[in-house]
Chain A
Amino acid sequence: MHIWKVICVGDLHLGRMPGGLSYVGNQISVDVALTKLVDEAIEREVHAVCFSGDILDRTNAYFEAAGQFERAVRQLRQQGIEVICVSGNHDWNTLPSLRRIFSDARLLGGPGEWGSFTLPRPDESSLQFVGYCFPADECQTISFSSFPQVKAKASIGLLHCDVGQMNSRYGGVELSYLTGHHLSAWSLGHIHKRTLLHEDGPFIFYSGSLQPLHINERGVHGAELLEISAEGKLLRHLQLPLATIYFDECRIDLSGEALTREEVLADIREALFTRLESLGIDDFEYVGIRVILKTDEQSYSAVESFCRDFDYADSFIVGRSTVYLESLVAECEMDVSEPGDYERLLTETVALLSGTEFAEGENAERGVTLVDQAQELLQEKLGQHFFQAFSDDVERKQDIRRVLVEAGVSLHARIVRSRRGSNVA
């Protein structure tokens, strides 16, 4: 019995560097993971490699990213492996214009159109690919009216969309639309986390980004290998861990201890070793990790100052992995037992801002007012640069709220420390 072997790849964002670890350099670029993908595809002798949009990052789409992709396509085609693509919101305009360069790769459809391609076999069993190219950088809905006719028993759909989010600006699609078309599998793009949406009937999944691009994209990243029988039945699916970097978060409890700088550093090292050993991720060459140091009010100031002055270019070697710190964050829970009036007011304010208490009615309005006032103040004193990191107003408000809470916690910790006295170096 013939078995079709296909590797499905989600968002590549070639040309973009994974954020937060810029000091590491080009070793963690997406191009490295793409090279691994090509090697894996050749070694496993797959029939095709599919890309579900956002292959090229919009910031660097034309030449560098295109060059990297072209190189990969050429290598795959030399081995007789088909390359099937659709465009996403990042490369909706660039990918079709590069058709001339990628003459070997198949781009399904044009902007806003469905397209189809059939991979034939001598024994007349064939594998059909259907796909839709994103029409613009934003697109409310995806029309299925011109969905092509699927003749082959084995078939795979490629789509860049936001499943279940009908109000999304990035192609909102109901899951039922996808399950309604009887394909063997749907390989989706746009969500960077690997997600299996539907396993019975058509296998619908986001394979996630090939290389994680942000500290929040934790866990193993890579591509999905599908094995489909000539009758169109999914026999096996397997995640291929191709990313060269693994992002993670590590929490260390430092509360109740008066620690020197060296002791904190030693605690971090030990916790990192324990965490990474428990994860068992020897396959990854690089690990980016965010360390959250949990402290009490006594030592918060010292730990926060340690975090602020830490040199992130230091790295650790754990097993075969090189571990880089993305950031160090100090976290403190305020002790509100028997506070003075002043501390109580401060605690109340921080609680109000953090949204944990007093978050209703008048207090909620007060909280919003405080954030608005703080935003004005920050805008006035720090200018627009500070707000560049926040993409929209909601996110901005949340970040300002977070800054306020952190500052409040810091103030509170200092007051408590001055009241109780502290041995923290």
Chain B
Amino acid sequence: MWLERLELFSAPGFERGGLGLKVFSPYINIIHGPNSSGKSTLLRSILHSSKPGKEMYLAQVSWVTSQGTIFFDVKGSRRKFADTAQETIFSGVISSSVNPLEYFLSVDFLATASLESGDVFVATLLKELRGGIDITVLTSGGLLDVHPRRLQSLAKKVRDAERELKKIDNQYELLAHQEEALTRLEAQQRDIEQRLRNCALENRLDEIRELFVRLQELEGWIQQQPEVIKHHSPQTFKRLIELEEEIPLRRSQIEILLERSARLDEASQKAIFSDPASVVMIDTMLDVWRNYRDGVSEIENLQNYLLSSAERIRVIEKYFFPLESGEGSDSSVSYPASSELDKLDELFERLETERNGLDTLRREYELYRSEPDETVSTSVFHEESLAALRLGEVYQFVQTLRENVLRLRNMVLLPVLAVCGVLLFYSLYVGEGDSFRLGIVHFVPVSLSCGIFLILIAIYILGVLFSKNVVSRWQGELIDECRRLIVGFVEKTTKAGREARVRQLKAGIEFHQNNIAGLNESIASLLSKLGCSLPKGNIQRVLIVALLRERFVLLAEDAERKARLQQLQKQHHDNRLALFELLGRILKFTPQSISDGELVALVSRVKEDFPSFQNLRLENAKVEQQLDVLQSGLASLMDQQESFGVTIDLYRLHFGVLEEVESTYQLYLSRQSECLKLKQKLLAIEEETARHYHIDEELLRRKLSEPAVNGVADEVVDLESKKNELVKQIADIHFAIRAARASHQRENSQIVYQQTMRDYSKELKKSAHAIAAQFILQRVEKDYQRKYSPELLQRAAEMFSRFTNGAMEMRLSPSSGGSSVVEFWDSVRNQCLRLEQLSRGTRTQALLAARLAYLFVGEKGESLPVLLDEALSASDSVRYSEIASMLQALATDGRQIFYCTCRDEEASFWRYLAETSPGKILVHDLASS
């Protein structure tokens, strides 16, 4: 629907009293004129024409709709349509939706107002907003909270810890520099010490120099003296020195030899065996001694054995011999009595057999007696009956076996025999005719066939014989055995049989008893012959004979031993006498009676002393030999000594210089010792100095050649103080380095730093989470809005973004309490602004975008014109052209647009656009009309 014509009259503010008739473009109408030229009046008139009310300046209005042109006059403030149908159409279109005419006209006036209250745009948005999520849920519990103060406090702690760490690092760095400097300081110290050494040397230089001079003098004198001495008495002096050394040596040797000779004499005199012949006798004595000892031990063994044997015989005789053991052993039958003993053994054996037979018969007899005559005792005959039954089974088995053998013979042997017979017959019958021979026959000669046939016949006959004779014999034997057993069984079980058996048993018992009595008598007589009797106790037969035999053996052996003992005792006696005599000769004592113990003691003494005696003898011989040599040497030495004394006297007499020589020699010695002392002293000084200051010989020699240096004391003091200072510094650095090496200062500080850093990181992380959560929430909100925001907002945001060339963004943000506000995101400044915070131009553009969006969403039915009064005057050129192109697009879509402006440049802009798209834009210049 668009406004085609409009006629106004007597509108106030116009100099000419009216705007007159205006014909409009269905697209864009730009109404240009200065202020108070009637632009707003014109727009208000258009607005008034669309709804009933005051229509004071309107004269005629013509609207073009889809249903035709509606023309009406306004007379006396009353609207008069051409017909009623037109009036109905017009009012229907106008009331079908919120009137955009009024809505857009208010843009200019509402430019400073909010979109919140009473705005249909916001009200529509709020209905659709969000999925019912309560924003307080997300913000509770401090999830989105950042605590800058806490963070700052922790950061401060971290900085402190970091500073402490840095401080230690700095300390260590400094120490490292000091360590480097240490080398320099130590070099300085070494330098000072060297200088100090030089000074010390110079201090003692005079003393050393003096000592050297004296030493040199002495050494010079000493070097001259031997020449003087040699010149005067070279041979005498030399011999003197030699003899003075030799005489004491010889004397001491003589003394030693004399002493040793005396000692050996004494030892020789102390020897036990003064007679050398005794040495030979000792060997004989030792042989006799060995025999004597062996004899003694053998005698002891024999005696012991005889004792134990006598004891054993006594025990045996105690059992068997009624007489006293002493008499029994002497008067008993002499050994050997083996035949009697063998006979006794045999009798006892027979007696045992008889007794066993008697016992068997008695047991059976007792059995008969203990059981009643009428009953048949199964216990007695059980075994026999079982045996009979087993024999019956065996008989059955043999019978079956026989039958089977016969059957087998008939089944196997007869057919084979038949086949062989046929083959034989065939081969014999066919004869020499080759054409009739069969395969097998061809290879089997006639003789072999006959042989096989005959063997089979023989086997058959043997089988028949075996089955008949052998099996029949086995069968017969079995039957006989069974019969015998059964007959015995029957005999035993019948009364007559029992009685006969009892009789037999009685006779047998009697027989055995007689035999036993006879045997007992024989045994008794034999024993009495042997002189012994049976003991009362129950001793076994075998034991009796064995014991008796042992007794006789023992008696016989004892007789031999006794003879041997007597022989030994005699020999022992002889040995003892011989030994005694030998000892008497060796040890030089008259043989008298002596006990065995004394004899043993004497022999052992001889045995122990003999080796040492032999050694002594050998040594004694050597010593005597040496003594002879030494004594002769001593005599020669004494001669020499005597001759030397004579020589000295001769020198004394003949040369008067000996005294001088001696005194010179003494002086020489004393000076030499003095020289030695000086050297030692010098050495001591050198050592002492060297110990403290490490003086080398070269330096000393050089210093000695220089003149003495004076005034070094001050320098020494100065150097000492410097040195002490350096030493202290070096020690301090060393101490600090050692302390640093042993310390855990930095590690501990690192621990503190890590702890504070951990707390801080924890808080930072918490804050980071909060910020990240806020960030994500914003992003999700944005996405949510983009995807799920109302169409109205989407359109508005789209247009607003286009108007602002993407610099601004319109969106709806949830606020506390569930309400929402329209916000604008300034992407250039990166901040979110409320409507009232926008600049005037931007705010106008935002509102324009909201209203234009509403056109698309809220308007239903005919498209009403859009009235804009100075709405774009605050826009910059870029945004202006964007809005203009937007308006052009709207107009092209069939919407009439009225835009009032007082600005000439705007009018020029629209005129320029009108030229580029002719017929679409009409510029009405009120000033010219």
Contacts and interface: CB of A to CB of B under 8 A. Distances in A.
Contacts, number: 144
A418 B747 CA distance: 48
17 contacts: A17-B751, A20-B758, A23-B755, A29-B744, A64-B741, A340-B131, A340-B132, A341-B787, A349-B779, A381-B146, A382-B151, A382-B771, A385-B158, A407-B772, A408-B772, A411-B138, A411-B777
A378 B760 CA distance: 15
B746 A60 contact: yes
Interface string B751-762: 110110010111
B745 interface: yes
Contacts of B745: 64
B409 interface: no
Interface string B767-790: 111111101110110011001100
A82 interface: no
Contacts of A389: 761
Given A66-B741, A67-B741, A407 B769 contact: yes
Contacts of A418: 133-134, 137
List the 5 closest A-B pairs by CB distance, nearest first: A67-B741, A22-B754, A63-B740, A407-B772, A418-B137
Contacts of A17: 747, 750-751, 754
Nearest to B758: A22
Given A15-B747, A341-B788, A345-B783, A63 B131 contact: no
A148 B755 CA distance: 47
Given A60-B747, A64-B741, A22 B755 contact: yes
B740 A67 contact: yes
A216 interface: no
Contacts of B752: 22
B239 interface: no
A400 to B, nearest CB: 8
B764 A382 contact: yes
A305 interface: yes
B549 interface: no
A18 to B, nearest CB: 10
B130 A26 contact: no
A342 B737 contact: no
B711 interface: no
B690 interface: no
A403 interface: yes
A17 B752 CA distance: 11
Contacts of B131: 340-342
Interface in A266-304: 301
Contacts of A26: 744, 747-748, 751
B784 A411 contact: no
Given A17-B750, A349-B779, A374 B787 contact: no
Interface in B367-394: none
A59 B169 CA distance: 8
Contacts of A410: 143, 769, 773
Which of A67, A411, A417: most chain B Cβ within 10 A? A411
A415 interface: yes
B55 to A, nearest CB: 50
Contacts of A59: 750
Contact of B143 (A342, A350, A411): A411
Contacts of A414: 137-138, 141, 143
B784 A403 contact: no
B772 A342 contact: no
B668 interface: no
Given A404-B775, A411-B143, A341 B784 contact: yes
Contacts of B784: 341-342, 345
Instruction: Report whether over half of chain B's contact residues are helix, strand or loop; otherwise say mixed.
Output: helix
Interface string A339-355: 01110011001100000
B741 A403 contact: no
B771 A378 contact: yes
Contacts of A305: 141
B161 to A, nearest CB: 11
B222 interface: no
A256 interface: no
Nearest to A350: B776
B158 to A, nearest CB: 7
A308 to B, nearest CB: 7
A373 interface: yes
B773 A411 contact: yes
Interface in A357-400: 370, 373-374, 377-378, 381-382, 385-386, 389, 400
A231 interface: no
A418 B131 CA distance: 13
Nearest to B756: A22
Nearest to A346: B780
A62 interface: yes
A268 B885 CA distance: 68
A340 B784 CA distance: 11
A66 B737 CA distance: 10
A29 B743 CA distance: 13
A349 to B, nearest CB: 6
A342 B764 contact: no
B766 interface: yes
Nearest to B133: A342
Contacts of A113: none
Contacts of B768: 378, 382, 386, 403, 407
A349 B141 contact: no
A201 interface: no
B773 A407 contact: yes
Nearest to A21: B754
A177 to B, nearest CB: 36
B700 interface: no
A47 B448 CA distance: 97
Interface string A315-338: 000000000000000000000000
Contacts of A174: none
A297 B761 CA distance: 25
A19 interface: yes
B754 A19 contact: yes
A380 to B, nearest CB: 9
A70 interface: yes
Contact of A403 (B134, B740, B769, B788): B769
Interface in B115-148: 130-134, 137-138, 141, 143, 146
A180 interface: no
A25 interface: yes
A406 interface: yes
Given A411-B777, A414-B137, A406 B769 contact: yes
